[in-house]
Structure 1
Amino acid sequence: MATVAFLGLGVMGFPMARHLAAAGHDVRVFNRTESKAKAWADAHGGASAPTPREAAEGCDFVMACVGNDYDLRSVCLGDDGAFAGMSAGAIFVDHTTVSAKVTRELAEIAAAKTVGYVDAPVSGGQAGAENGVLSVMCGGSEVDFAAAEPVMQAYGKIVKRLGAVGAGQTAKMCNQIAIAGLVQGLSEALHLAEKSGLDGEALVDVISGGAAGSWQMVNRHKTMLADEYEHGFAVDWMRKDLAICLEAGDDVGASLPVTALVDQFYKDVQKMGGGRWDTSSLMKRLKAFE
């Protein structure tokens, strides 16, 4: 069992930290809204800390799951940042979806302090976090990954190293690209079915077991057919991720035309007031643009 700090108790971080405590780890938590950290500690044991530095002091591992590049820098750097409290030999594990640029930047700073660094973005959404079955895509040294993997297994169905620091974030970008294209295709299929008078549920029963089947189809078709989107991974966050995807594509010379197109479709959804809707709301955009 390890002493672990968890920074960021949003819809993903709150249950991820809970799984760590349930696995027997000594968990300390930090959240910008301190009352949420105290509520977590009251519910699940462990302790809350007023700053990332105080949460990280004396810990074997420091996990973070925050919003974006800026948020990650803010919990890592400065006098109150986690790096200021971490001891040599400790390992920082970042579950945030951020750019490879900030990942490499922070990994270099960590290395100068003899602190390990693993970038480990996750996929599986809030349900995956709640149920402890996330897919965790990792980048980092083999030594750091080997040390951190058993801890991450508390909430990971699969925890896999893809390469050196930054590889995890690149894998997450591939994941988001695949999701964006799938959701648009599923939206168009269900939209055509509705316009043609087909029963959407019956259609999914037929095609979900074949080559067209996907997680999105199985888990999102019911709410899409019911025009319900107040759940799941928000469009605002997906656009943040797709911007990182497109920048990464430019950096390495990869052509991402479908990603760029679907990103603009999500921009339309934002203009419709759907920034907090689930990413499957591409279906609603099709109906609005009939």
Structure 2
Amino acid sequence: MEIGFLGLGIMGLRMAANVARAGHQVTVYNRTTATAQAWVAEHGGTVAQTPAQAAAAADVVISMVVDGAQVEQVLLGPDGAADGARPGALFVDMSTISPDDTRRIGAGLAERGVAFVDAPVTGSSPKAQDGTLTIMAGGAEEDVRRAWPLFEAMGSLVLHVGGLGQGEMVKLINNATAAANTLAVAQALVVGRATGVDLGALVQVMSAGSGGSAMLDLKAPVMQEHDYTTLFKLEHMLKDVRLCLEQARAAGVGFDAAAAAGGALEHGLERGLGEADFAALLEAVEAASGVRL
């Protein structure tokens, strides 16, 4: 297939590479043209100067950007992908944005005769690199099936989770839960340090038992070293938690654990750690307790 790929950030450049490796012809667009040129030099394909140009020959256009405003800009804005879309094109947004934004953008695309699927991903940059992301797709069955070969190039678990916007909702709940689990890990480590526990033994016991979690395995080692090398930016996790809480409030329910994690992430943002990995929420726990690992 001919693919237009919009957004070559930490995740996007790796995901686009897997699409190209699967044998698809890829035209890439990135706000920083030098990034797109470097990607093409390594993987082949074509650099587009605008999203509309990237969409001109594409069967499927994939967007992977930061937020709803950016998705709307690259798809529906001036020189957006919708301006260049060929008849029968399918747009797939793999960003993490509000389900409300997804449905509104989908309505705008439908007016132009463009089909739309939301398919956010979970799994940080190493999984994007090796094509083992989890992908949760929302949209009409026939549209999701059209994109399925591309999803299989980027992910090892692909699920059609419902109508348009439901992929985003599943992703937001997942990320908010991940943030809450990460806060619990940080608090457990600080309690362990304060009470004189061997942290290595604590983590080993928790990993083997009911206290285990993916976030324990991924974040406990780097927290102990205060190594916040970015796998997923703190500011992006905070965005996702806020979006999840907005949807929860609109549905009339609470998510207290996610709200607490949001507070810790906000503390990290205030300390200038927005570009760091979200494991840096440890700094909020340490500051509140007066205990440093």
TM-score by length of 2: 0.95
The aligned runs of 1:233-252 (5 Å cut-off) are 233-252=232-251
Between 227-236 and 216-225, the greater mean CA deviation after superposition: 227-236
Q: Give me the whole-angstrom Cα distance separating, in 1, the residues matched to 2:120 and 2:79.
A: 24
Deviation at 1:35?
1.1
Q: SS state of the match for residue 153, structure 2?
A: coil
Q: Give me the whole-angstrom Cα distance separating, in 1, the residues matched to 2:35 and 2:140.
A: 33
Give CA-to-partner distance per residue, 1:229-252, whole Å, 9 cap, x none.
Answer: 132212111111112111111221
Q: Give me the whole-angstrom Cα distance separating, in 1, the residues matched to 2:282 and 2:262.
A: 14
Deviation at 1:58?
1.9
* Code of the aligned partner of 1:55: A
Distance 1:275 1:78, change over 3 A: closer
Give the match for residue 80 of structure 1.
79
Q: Give me the whole-angstrom Cα distance separating, in 2, the residues matched to 1:79 and 1:71.
A: 12
Q: Give me the whole-angstrom Cα distance separating, in 2, the residues matched to 1:235 and 1:189.
A: 20
Give the match for residue 195 of structure 1.
194
Deviation at 1:273?
2.2
Give CA-to-partner distance per residue, 1:164-197, whole Å, 9 cap, x none.
Answer: 0000010011111211210111111111112222
Identity %: 36
Confirm or deny that 1:21 pairs with 2:20.
yes
Give the match for residue 129 of structure 2.
130
Structure 1: 5+ residue runs without aligned partners? Answer: none
Between 161-170 and 77-86, the greater mean CA deviation after superposition: 77-86
Deviation at 1:257?
2.0
Between 269-278 and 57-66, the greater mean CA deviation after superposition: 269-278
Deviation at 1:147?
0.9
Q: Give me the whole-angstrom Cα distance separating, in 2, the residues matched to 1:169 and 1:3.
A: 25
Give CA-to-partner distance per residue, 1:126-150, whole Å, 9 cap, x none.
Answer: 1111121111111000000011011
Give the match for residue 212 of structure 1.
211
* Code of the aligned partner of 2:43: H
Q: Give me the whole-angstrom Cα distance separating, in 2, the residues matched to 1:270 and 1:53.
A: 35
Q: Give me the whole-angstrom Cα distance separating, in 2, the residues matched to 1:49 and 1:29.
A: 6
Give the match for residue 48 of structure 1.
47
Give the match for residue 139 of structure 1.
138
Deviation at 1:256?
1.6
Q: SS state of the match for residue 27, structure 1?
A: strand
Give the match for residue 115 of structure 1.
114
Give the match for residue 158 of structure 2.
159
Deviation at 1:110?
1.7
* Code of the aligned partner of 1:143: E
Give the match for residue 6 of structure 2.
7
Q: SS state of the match for residue 154, structure 1?
A: helix
Q: SS state of the match for residue 158, structure 1?
A: strand
Q: SS state of the match for residue 277, structure 1?
A: coil
Q: SS state of the match for residue 10, structure 1?
A: coil
Contact 2:230 2:276 in 1 (8 A): yes
Q: Give me the whole-angstrom Cα distance separating, in 1, the residues matched to 2:264 and 2:217.
A: 22
* Code of the aligned partner of 2:67: N
Confirm or deny that 1:31 pairs with 2:30.
yes
Give the match for residue 270 of structure 1.
269
TM-score by length of 1: 0.96
Q: Give me the whole-angstrom Cα distance separating, in 2, the residues matched to 1:284 and 1:230.
A: 14
Between 234-243 and 137-146, the greater mean CA deviation after superposition: 234-243
Give the match for residue 56 of structure 2.
57
- Give the count of matched residue pairs: 289
Give the match for residue 282 of structure 1.
281
Q: Give me the whole-angstrom Cα distance separating, in 2, the residues matched to 1:40 and 1:226.
A: 33
Q: Give me the whole-angstrom Cα distance separating, in 2, the residues matched to 1:78 and 1:285.
A: 39
Contact 2:63 2:95 in 1 (8 A): yes
Deviation at 1:201?
1.8
